Protein backbone atom coordinates (compact mmCIF):
# COMPACT_ATOMS: atom_id res chain seq x y z
CA UNK A 1 0.00 0.00 0.00
CA UNK A 2 1.14 3.56 -0.73
CA UNK A 3 2.24 5.89 2.00
CA UNK A 4 3.83 9.32 2.29
CA UNK A 5 5.50 11.36 4.98
CA UNK A 6 4.91 15.03 5.84
CA UNK A 7 6.69 16.80 8.66
CA UNK A 8 7.81 13.54 10.24
CA UNK A 9 4.38 11.97 10.06
CA UNK A 10 3.63 9.01 7.87
CA UNK A 11 0.21 8.62 6.27
CA UNK A 12 -1.17 5.39 4.82
CA UNK A 13 -4.44 4.38 3.12
CA UNK A 14 -7.57 6.36 4.05
CA UNK A 15 -5.62 8.87 6.16
CA UNK A 16 -3.56 9.65 3.09
CA UNK A 17 -6.72 10.57 1.10
CA UNK A 18 -8.08 12.65 3.99
CA UNK A 19 -4.82 14.52 4.25
CA UNK A 20 -4.65 15.16 0.47
CA UNK A 21 -8.24 16.39 0.52
CA UNK A 22 -7.48 18.75 3.43
CA UNK A 23 -4.35 20.08 1.72
CA UNK A 24 -6.17 20.69 -1.59
CA UNK A 25 -9.02 22.44 0.30
CA UNK A 26 -6.50 24.69 2.07
CA UNK A 27 -4.78 25.45 -1.24
CA UNK A 28 -8.13 26.29 -2.92
CA UNK A 29 -9.14 28.52 0.00
CA UNK A 30 -5.80 30.35 -0.16
CA UNK A 31 -6.19 30.90 -3.92
CA UNK A 32 -9.81 32.15 -3.50
CA UNK A 33 -8.65 34.50 -0.72
CA UNK A 34 -5.92 35.89 -2.97
CA UNK A 35 -8.41 36.46 -5.84
CA UNK A 36 -10.87 38.11 -3.48
CA UNK A 37 -8.15 40.40 -2.13
CA UNK A 38 -7.02 41.24 -5.68
CA UNK A 39 -10.60 42.12 -6.71
CA UNK A 40 -11.03 44.13 -3.52
CA UNK A 41 -7.92 46.18 -4.25
CA UNK A 42 -9.09 46.80 -7.86
CA UNK A 43 -12.50 47.96 -6.62
CA UNK A 44 -10.90 50.11 -3.96
CA UNK A 45 -9.05 51.99 -6.71
CA UNK A 46 -12.27 52.37 -8.74
CA UNK A 47 -14.21 53.63 -5.72
CA UNK A 48 -11.45 56.08 -4.82
CA UNK A 49 -11.44 57.45 -8.39
CA UNK A 50 -15.23 58.11 -8.46
CA UNK A 51 -15.99 61.77 -9.16
CA UNK A 52 -18.81 62.61 -6.73
CA UNK A 53 -19.14 66.12 -8.14
CA UNK A 54 -19.96 64.72 -11.56
CA UNK A 55 -22.51 62.34 -10.02
CA UNK A 56 -24.12 65.23 -8.14
CA UNK A 57 -24.31 67.42 -11.23
CA UNK A 58 -25.80 64.54 -13.22
CA UNK A 59 -28.33 63.89 -10.44
CA UNK A 60 -29.30 67.60 -10.50
CA UNK A 61 -29.81 67.45 -14.27
CA UNK A 62 -31.95 64.33 -13.85
CA UNK A 63 -34.00 66.05 -11.11
CA UNK A 64 -34.54 69.09 -13.36
CA UNK A 65 -35.70 66.85 -16.19
CA UNK A 66 -38.04 65.00 -13.83
CA UNK A 67 -39.48 68.29 -12.55
CA UNK A 68 -39.96 69.44 -16.13
CA UNK A 69 -41.62 66.15 -17.06
CA UNK A 70 -43.93 66.36 -14.03
CA UNK A 71 -44.90 69.93 -14.93
CA UNK A 72 -45.51 68.93 -18.56
CA UNK A 73 -47.61 65.97 -17.40
CA UNK A 74 -49.70 68.25 -15.18
CA UNK A 75 -50.24 70.61 -18.12
CA UNK A 76 -51.36 67.70 -20.30
CA UNK A 77 -53.69 66.46 -17.56
CA UNK A 78 -55.22 69.92 -17.16
CA UNK A 79 -55.62 70.30 -20.93
CA UNK A 80 -57.25 66.90 -21.23
CA UNK A 81 -59.64 67.70 -18.38
CA UNK A 82 -60.62 70.97 -20.10
CA UNK A 83 -61.10 69.14 -23.41
CA UNK A 84 -63.29 66.49 -21.78
CA UNK A 85 -65.42 69.16 -20.07
CA UNK A 86 -65.81 70.97 -23.41
CA UNK A 87 -66.80 67.76 -25.17
CA UNK A 88 -69.34 66.97 -22.43
CA UNK A 89 -70.89 70.44 -22.83
CA UNK A 90 -71.08 69.99 -26.60
CA UNK A 91 -72.64 66.56 -26.17
CA UNK A 92 -75.25 68.05 -23.81
CA UNK A 93 -76.06 70.77 -26.36
CA UNK A 94 -76.39 68.19 -29.13
CA UNK A 95 -78.67 66.07 -26.94
CA UNK A 96 -80.86 69.10 -26.26
CA UNK A 97 -81.06 69.93 -29.96
CA UNK A 98 -81.91 66.32 -30.79
CA UNK A 99 -84.71 66.36 -28.20
CA UNK A 100 -86.06 69.61 -29.65
CA UNK A 101 -85.88 68.24 -33.19
CA UNK A 102 -87.54 65.04 -32.07
CA UNK A 103 -90.39 67.00 -30.50
CA UNK A 104 -90.80 69.12 -33.64
CA UNK A 105 -90.84 66.03 -35.86
CA UNK A 106 -93.41 64.33 -33.62
CA UNK A 107 -95.58 67.46 -33.72
CA UNK A 108 -95.26 67.60 -37.51
CA UNK A 109 -96.21 63.93 -37.76
CA UNK A 110 -99.21 64.46 -35.47
CA UNK A 111 -100.30 67.49 -37.54
CA UNK A 112 -99.87 65.53 -40.76
CA UNK A 113 -101.93 62.67 -39.31
CA UNK A 114 -104.67 65.10 -38.27
CA UNK A 115 -104.71 66.71 -41.74
CA UNK A 116 -104.73 63.30 -43.39
CA UNK A 117 -107.66 62.16 -41.25
CA UNK A 118 -109.49 65.41 -41.99
CA UNK A 119 -108.89 65.03 -45.73
CA UNK A 120 -109.92 61.38 -45.61
CA UNK A 121 -113.10 62.24 -43.72
CA UNK A 122 -113.86 65.09 -46.16
CA UNK A 123 -113.23 62.83 -49.14
CA UNK A 124 -115.47 60.17 -47.65
CA UNK A 125 -118.21 62.75 -47.00
CA UNK A 126 -117.89 64.09 -50.55
CA UNK A 127 -117.97 60.59 -51.95
CA UNK A 128 -121.02 59.67 -49.84
CA UNK A 129 -122.79 62.90 -50.92
CA UNK A 130 -121.93 62.33 -54.59
CA UNK A 131 -123.17 58.77 -54.35
CA UNK A 132 -126.43 59.92 -52.75
CA UNK A 133 -126.90 62.58 -55.46
CA UNK A 134 -126.20 60.02 -58.18
CA UNK A 135 -128.56 57.57 -56.56
CA UNK A 136 -131.27 60.27 -56.32
CA UNK A 137 -130.85 61.24 -59.99
CA UNK A 138 -130.97 57.63 -61.06
CA UNK A 139 -134.00 57.03 -58.89
CA UNK A 140 -135.72 60.14 -60.27
CA UNK A 141 -134.88 59.15 -63.85
CA UNK A 142 -136.05 55.62 -63.23
CA UNK A 143 -139.27 56.90 -61.68
CA UNK A 144 -139.96 59.22 -64.66
CA UNK A 145 -139.29 56.36 -66.99
CA UNK A 146 -141.68 54.19 -65.07
CA UNK A 147 -144.30 56.94 -64.88
CA UNK A 148 -144.13 57.72 -68.55
CA UNK A 149 -142.63 54.88 -70.57
CA UNK A 150 -142.98 56.70 -73.89
CA UNK A 151 -141.01 59.72 -72.84
CA UNK A 152 -137.39 59.78 -73.29
Per-residue pLDDT of the chain (152 residues; tens, 9 = 90+): 677 677 777 777 777 778 778 888 999 999 999 999 888 887 877 777 777 788 889 999 999 999 999 999 999 999 999 999 999 999 999 999 999 999 999 999 999 999 999 999 999 998 889 999 999 999 998 888 888 877 65
pLDDT at position 18 is 80
What phi and psi, each to the nearest 5 degrees, are found at residue 65? Answer: -65, -40
Q: Does 129 map to a domain? A: no
Q: Does 97 map to a domain? A: no
pTM of the entire predicted model: 0.43
pLDDT at position 152 is 58
Q: Does 27 map to a domain? A: yes
Using left for φ > 0, alpha for ψ between -120 and 50, and beta otherwise, residue 7 falls in left
40 HSE (CA, 13 A, CB side): 6
Domain containing 41 equals: 1-50
- Rounded Cα–Cα distance for residues 114 and 117 (Å): 5
**Domain count across the chain:** 1
Amino acid sequence: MAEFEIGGMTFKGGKMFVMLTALSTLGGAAWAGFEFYSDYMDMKEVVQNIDTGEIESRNKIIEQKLDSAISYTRDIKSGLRDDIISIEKQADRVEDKVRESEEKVRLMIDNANDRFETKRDALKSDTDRDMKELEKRLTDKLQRALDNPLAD
